[in-house]
Amino acid sequence: MDTPEIPLESLDAARVAALLGERFSLQVLVEVGVDLSDLDTLFDDEVLVEESAGQAQFTDFQIRQGLLQQLPWSFRRSWSLKLAESLGKLKGEPGKLGELYLSAQEFDRARP
- Domain, as residue range, for 40: 8-104
Query: Which pLDDT does position 109 carry in this prediction?
Result: 85
pLDDT at 60 over 90: yes
Does residue 43 lie within any of the structural domains?
yes
What is the number of domains present in the chain? 1
Does residue 94 lie within any of the structural domains?
yes
Residue-wise pLDDT for 4-56, tens only, equals: 578 899 999 999 999 999 999 999 999 999 999 999 999 999 999 999 989 99
- Spatial distance between the Cα atoms of 18 and 66, rounded to a whole number of angstroms: 9
Query: Which pLDDT does position 4 carry in this prediction?
Result: 52
pLDDT at 64 over 90: yes
Residue-wise pLDDT for 71-101, tens only, equals: 999 999 999 999 999 988 888 788 888 899 9
Q: What is the DSSP string of 1-21?
A: -PPPS--HHHHHHHHHHHHH-
